[in-house]
Every structure is written in structure tokens, then in C-alpha cells.
A and B are shown apart, each in its own frame.
Chain A
Amino acid sequence: MSENGFALSLNGVTKRFANQVAVSNFDLAVPRGVTCGLLGLNGSGKTTIMRMVMGILHPDEGSVSVFGADAVETQRARIGYLPEERGVYRKMKCLDFILFLSEIRGMQKADGRRSALEWLERLELTDWADKKLEDLSRGMQQKIQLISAVIHKPELLILDEPFSGLDPMNQDTLEEIVLDLQRNGATVVFSTHLMDQAERLCERVCLISNSRKVLEGDLRELKAAETKGLVAIDFEGSDEWLRGADIVGTKESNGTTEVLLADGADHRELLKRGLQSGANIFRFELIEPRLHDIFVRHVGSGMVEDLAVSESGVSATI
């Protein structure tokens, strides 16, 4: 098998359901050892993409290859998968459930048991190994699901909205696990609509909107390229000049107004307008945009309200 440098690559992938296009002509290449975030609103096609990577769905057009192999099914033992909609066999005992999943993920029995017990200990669930899953709290069940995704030491980890529904403790646990696997050279692809988490974990991002790829690249490079898009302004006077077609949104905190410019807009025009309006401007600084800003800028302000709602805890009034 010729394995190129990519852990995962999708070429011109299209998937339709009935009369609806779920993913349209989608390309993605994730180098080995890289963590890549698929960012998009609910219904943008992320889950469909991940299911195609796992071979659960098959693309109508285009191809998916994992570790250079087009037959994804043959590579499944090397992939760890945490679907968005995940459950457990409620009547099964914890350890049996993990062992069952380790077995179908291709592990030998003894290895599976050793690994399962290690993970249970690491996540402080040893005392629960022989309890039925229905007796566990939701948070504990989530931990069991996490274990089942990583027990076979996957080289590629596919996580679909891994943080959604997790309590804060488990969010931290998951982040630790992901960082740990990263350090050991695993490739991680996860989808999320939580931008701050993506920003912390990802080296690459891929923005998806309406079943199409909008933007893809190295997060730092993207940020550098987008630097001219976000301006921090301290001023006195009327804010009339902060309204215009070239502005996607404004946010004020601690006296500083952050202005997000539309794609292609010129910050010098804005400054000129401010000076002309007679506002007293103390500070006009191009600052590094957050992933959130980049997302809003490219996916469009029409979607922003959705995002603000789904992003609980982050006061995004842009």
C-alpha cells in the first residue's frame, strides 16, 4: 500500500440525499499528525463528511482516501470515531461494552482488556467496570464513549461535535485526551461550532457553509491573512461613521469598539470616514482576528444569530 503524506484526503466529494445536496464538490487534505477542525453551522454537511470518511456513507461522486487507501473499510482499525449521536447498550456492563467495541475495532482480547482497564483507571471509573451502563450518570457514560473511541490507539481520530453535550469536566478530559494523542503523532479531525475550542486545538481549519467548503488552511496563516479585517478603535463622539456596507459587525467592550470589516473592505476608508465625521479617535489598531471573526466574515452575517445562540457562554453580539 502506498501511503502518501496525508492521513485523510477527500477529492471532489458530493453526496445527495433524495433531492437534497448534503455535500457538494468537497476537497480536503489533512497531513499526518495535524489537527484539523471542520467548522460549520448545524446542517452544513459536517456529519455527512465524517460518515463518508468512516465508510458509513459512500459518496455519490468523488473519492475519500484514508492513509492513501481508497477502500476506507480496510483502514477502520486505524481510525477512532466519536459520532455526534452516540449511545451505549444500556443493559451492558461498562467493561463488557468497551471490550465489545475494542473487539470490533480489531483488537486482540487480551490487549483490549489491558487497555480498557488502563483507561477506566485513568478516567477514575475502575469501580464502575462491572456496573451496568444504565446505572452510570450521563457524564460517566460520556467518558465510556470517549474510551471506546480511543481504546485501540488510533492513528486518525474523527470526532463529530465531540464537545457538544459534554459537561465542562468531560470537555477538559476530552481536550487532554486529544492533546495527548496529538503528542503521540495522531491525526485529529473534528467538527465543531464552538470556535474557541477549535482555536485552542486546531492547526488547520476548514470552514463549511451550505454543504460547500468556504475556506481552508493553516490557522495561523489564515489569521495573518485576515489581519486587516478586524480593527480595535477607541474614540469619542458620534458612532454614525461605524455604519456602512463595508462593516460586518461591531462589538464594544471596556470602551474599545471592535469593528469587523467585510471581506475586501479597506480599513483606510473607515479611518478616513471617522476623521471626516469629526470623531475624536485615540486608537485605530489592526488586531489579529479570532477564528470566530474569520468565520463570521466568510460564512456571512446572515448566519451570525444562529452562531451566537449555539455558542452559549460567549457573548457574541457582533
Chain B
Amino acid sequence: MMWRNVWAVWRREYIQRVHSKWFAVATVGGPFIMALLIVVTVFLTDRSEDSRTTIAVVDETNVLSEPVARALEQAGWVVRTEVWEEGAPEALMAEIETRALGGFLVLDGMTLSTGEARLYSVTGESPLRLLTIRSAISEAALEYHLGRSDADAAALLQGGTLSVDVIDESSTYENGTEFWIAYGGAFLLYMVILIYASAVMRATLDEKASRVVELILSSMEPWHLMLGKILGVWAVSMTQILVWICSVTLLVAAGIPLSLSGRYGLPELENLSEVLPGPGLWALFVGFFVLGYLMYSGLYAALGAMCSTDQEAQQAQLPMIMLLLVPILMVVPVIQGPTTAASTGLSLFPLFSPILMWARVATGVVPVWQVGLSFILMVLSVFGIAWLAGRIYKAGILMTGKRPTLPELWRWLREA
């Protein structure tokens, strides 16, 4: 009987929402806006990189610079080949400071054997440009090595590594892509959790205000209604997020290379997937969203049950938004120092975990046990909050008039 009721509420909530105009607009419009953002960003960086970049190639090996320079020129850079000598890097560095040079690439013995090279650059290069440089280097190295025995072919075929020293002071993080995945993901999590959790509050408030709630409660326990509602909105959110993820993946996987293929000689487009978050990271993202949503939607449902009017709810909502805002404010410091004690502690606090632990995970330096622990803590919190919210919901849902004070709220918790 219980699950029948929960299922009925769940289905009603889902169908009603999916049929609404808002859903159609957000589901289709979301990826469209994202696509627009991505295309505009790519287009702009493309243009700006095109217009300025003169790159110097410093070659210690004397064999790599020529093929590398050729490849880079093909890809749109203006290339200057420098011979390795003592003090060359310092001179180039000075040139970079006067912006006469966009950056320089140092190729040495390591480059020849493993594909490792070093790029000094005014600003972080876009992932696509880095990929182009990497391909150029590893191809040149491979070409040279054909037939030689001391080459680490595996490392070369993997594409080598390219460590980037960004000289611009304002950006101290090591890898642009990871930062943006951590930061963008954290912000996205903040938004979707807030949007959907507060949708639960509005739905609760609406049922209360329209007086339909007593009709429903005469057939089921309040917490069945609450659970059905939370799950219904959750299903809507998952539908929407999956549509978004799929369309973004499609866009990035198909759209960007397509839009760039005419401009760059990108020999290894399949490498593009390396700069995008992998399935594991996506799964974690969804995991953080689900648990974050379940915690916050419970709190928001209780909030909706406590209030009688929109204005009241707006005010009461503030502390809840704070709970989500604090981790958002902490995101940048946490990404920059993902392993400090403060970052670790804050990211383990369950209500902050969806945003802060995500940010740490995306930087790729968090021990697995910490991620596991945060998930365990979040699951426990979901149950704790469900217990708490269920009681407030039950006491509040039929109340009208003034919002309860804290002592009253305490009494509800004890008596429910």
C-alpha cells in the first residue's frame, strides 16, 4: 500500500512536470545555451590565439625542431626555431615578458625518448592547442625513432606528457582543463541541487496553499507524500541532466572537432576524449548530485511544510541557500589546495560534500578512501535528514498561519 501511494505521487509529479512548458524549454534550451557558450568560447580563443601566437621552439636534440615547427606552422602558429645554448631560456623569458613572444617550447633528450616536453606560455593554452602541440612532438619523435631500439615506443604512442609552466601570475593552477572541470562542475552541482531542491519546496507550498494536501493526506501518511514528491522531482531532474550530459557529450565529441577540423591539422582527434571528463567522473558527478539533492530536498520539503506563503518561504530559504553558498565560495581555494587539512575537513562535511568533494575529486589528487567516506557520510545524512524533515513535514503540512518559531519547531520534532 505504501509503495503504491508513493509510486502514484511520484508518477503524478513526474508526468505533470515533464509535460510542462518549462521542462521543454529548459531541457532543450539548456544544451542549446551550453552549445552556444562552448562554440563562442572556442571561436573566441581560436581567434585570439590565431592573432597573436608566435612560438619559439628551442631544440636541444637538433633533430626535433624541424618537423615540430612544420606541424605547428600548419596548425596556425608563427614558429621561430632557436638553437639550444646556455641562457637561451632566460632570453626568451624576457621576450615573453614584453609580449614579443607568445611562448616557447623546450625539446630535449627526454622528449626524444618519452615525448615529454615543456611549454612556457603567456597564458594557459586551450586543451585543443595543447593537444596539437603534443601530437606534433610525439609524431616528430616517432618519426625520428623509427628503427631505433632505445625508444620507449609505448610512452610515445600514449602521446607523452606535456607539462606547462604558465607565466601569467593570476593563474597558478597547473592544468586549465582540470580547473574548469572542477569549478564548472561544482557550480553546476550548486545550481541543479538548488533548482530541484527548491522545486520540492515550491511544490509542497503549493499543495498547502491550494488546500489539496488534506485530500491526499486522507489516503496516505505525510512522509509517503513527501517521499513521492522528492522522488518525482528527482526523476525529472535525472531526465533533464541525462539529456544535458548526452547532448553536451555529443556536441563536444562531434561539434567541436567538426567546427575546428577545417582550421587545424589535428591528426589524432580521438585524443580529444582525454581532455573531457571520463565516464568515471560523470558517474561521480551524478552520485554527488543525487545525494546532494536528497539531502537538500528533504530540508526544502520541511521548509515548504513550515511556511504558508511564498514570502515566508523566501525568507526561510536564506539559511539553506547559505549552506550551498559557503562551499561555492570555498571552491577556488579548495581546488588550489585540494590536500590541505581545511579542504579535507570541509569537503567531508556532508552538506558541503557534493560541491567541495567534487571539486577535489576533479583535481584528481584525492585519496579514494576520502571519497568513499564522504559518500558514506552523505548517505547517513540522507537518512538523518529524512527522519528530521519527515517529522517537521508531518507537523507543518496542515498548519496555517504563522511560521513556527525555533522552540515550536523543537516541540514538533519531539511530538511528531
Contact B220 A104 (CB under 8 A): yes
> Across the interface, which residues of B come within 8 angstroms of A103, CB to CB?
4, 8
For the complex with contacts A56-B218, A104-B220, 17 further pairs of A-B residues with Cβ separation under 8 Å are A54-B217, A55-B218, A56-B214, A57-B398, A81-B215, A81-B218, A83-B211, A85-B214, A87-B212, A87-B213, A89-B16, A89-B212, A96-B12, A100-B12, A101-B215, A106-B4, A148-B215
Task: Specify which of B9, B212, B218 is in contact with A54 (CB 8 Å cutoff).
Answer: B218
> Across the interface, which residues of A come within 8 angstroms of B214, CB to CB?
51, 56, 83, 85-86
> Across the interface, which residues of A come within 8 angstroms of B12, CB to CB?
92, 96, 100
Interface presence of A131 (CB below 8 A)? no
* Shortest Cβ gap from B308 to chain A (Å): 12
Contact B8 A104 (CB under 8 A): yes
Interface presence of B219 (CB below 8 A)? yes
- The contact sample of 10 A-B pairs, CB cut-off 8 A, is A55-B218, A56-B217, A76-B218, A83-B215, A87-B213, A92-B12, A96-B12, A100-B12, A103-B4, A104-B9
Candidate in B210, B219, B398 with the most chain A CB atoms within 10 angstroms: B219
Contact A87 B211 (CB under 8 A): yes
Candidate in A56, A85, A86, A104 with the most chain B CB atoms within 10 angstroms: A104
> Across the interface, which residues of B come within 8 angstroms of A89, CB to CB?
16, 207, 210, 212
Number of interface residues, chain A, beta carbon within 8 A:
28
Contact B210 A91 (CB under 8 A): no
User: Could you tell me the dominant secondary structure of chain B's interface residues?
Assistant: helix
- Docked complex Cα distance between A60 and B338 (Å): 54
> Across the interface, which residues of B come within 8 angstroms of A100, CB to CB?
8, 12
> Across the interface, which residues of B come within 8 angstroms of A90, CB to CB?
210
- List 3 tightest A-B contacts by C-beta distance, closest first: A87-B211, A87-B210, A87-B212
> Across the interface, which residues of A come within 8 angstroms of B20, CB to CB?
91
Contact A86 B221 (CB under 8 A): no
* Shortest Cβ gap from A103 to chain B (Å): 5
Chain B residues 230 to 268 lying within 8 A of chain A, measured CB to CB, are: none
* Shortest Cβ gap from B6 to chain A (Å): 10
Residue of B nearest to A84 (CB): B214
Interface presence of A143 (CB below 8 A)? no
- Docked complex Cα distance between A79 and B219 (Å): 9
Residue of A nearest to B20 (CB): A91
Interface presence of B53 (CB below 8 A)? no
- Docked complex Cα distance between A87 and B411 (Å): 29
> Across the interface, which residues of A come within 8 angstroms of B9, CB to CB?
104
Interface string of B4-34 (1 = CB under 8 A from A): 1100110010001000100000000000000
> Across the interface, which residues of B come within 8 angstroms of A73, CB to CB?
221
Number of interface residues, chain B, beta carbon within 8 A:
23
Chain B residues 43 to 97 lying within 8 A of chain A, measured CB to CB, are: none
- Docked complex Cα distance between A85 and B411 (Å): 25
- Docked complex Cα distance between A148 and B213 (Å): 13
> Across the interface, which residues of B come within 8 angstroms of A92, CB to CB?
12, 16
Interface string of B196-235 (1 = CB under 8 A from A): 0000000000010011111111111100000000000000
- Docked complex Cα distance between A87 and B218 (Å): 13
* Shortest Cβ gap from A12 to chain B (Å): 20
Interface string of B154-197 (1 = CB under 8 A from A): 00000000000000000000000000000000000000000000
- Docked complex Cα distance between A81 and B219 (Å): 9
- Docked complex Cα distance between A52 and B108 (Å): 84
Interface presence of A303 (CB below 8 A)? no
* Shortest Cβ gap from A316 to chain B (Å): 30
Contact B5 A104 (CB under 8 A): yes
Contact B211 A85 (CB under 8 A): yes
* Shortest Cβ gap from A62 to chain B (Å): 17
Interface string of A274-289 (1 = CB under 8 A from B): 0000000000000000
Residue of A nearest to B210 (CB): A87
Residue of A nearest to B221 (CB): A73
Residue of A nearest to B400 (CB): A85
* Shortest Cβ gap from A234 to chain B (Å): 50
Residue of A nearest to B12 (CB): A100
- Docked complex Cα distance between A105 and B1 (Å): 10
- Docked complex Cα distance between A105 and B16 (Å): 20
Interface presence of A88 (CB below 8 A)? yes
- Docked complex Cα distance between A271 and B398 (Å): 53
- Docked complex Cα distance between A223 and B173 (Å): 90
Chain A residues 71 to 113 lying within 8 A of chain B, measured CB to CB, are: 73, 76, 79, 81, 83, 85-92, 96, 100-101, 103-106
> Across the interface, which residues of B come within 8 angstroms of A87, CB to CB?
210-213, 215
- Docked complex Cα distance between A17 and B115 (Å): 76
Contacts A89-B16, A91-B16, A91-B20 given; does A105 touch B219 at CB 8 Å: yes
> Across the interface, which residues of A come within 8 angstroms of B211, CB to CB?
83, 85-87
Interface string of B116-148 (1 = CB under 8 A from A): 000000000000000000000000000000000
- Docked complex Cα distance between A18 and B215 (Å): 24
- Docked complex Cα distance between A27 and B217 (Å): 24
> Across the interface, which residues of A come within 8 angstroms of B213, CB to CB?
87
* Shortest Cβ gap from A22 to chain B (Å): 12
- Docked complex Cα distance between A145 and B216 (Å): 12
Contact A88 B212 (CB under 8 A): yes
* Shortest Cβ gap from A188 to chain B (Å): 16
Contact B215 A86 (CB under 8 A): yes
> Across the interface, which residues of B come within 8 angstroms of A96, CB to CB?
12
> Across the interface, which residues of A come within 8 angstroms of B4, CB to CB?
103-104, 106
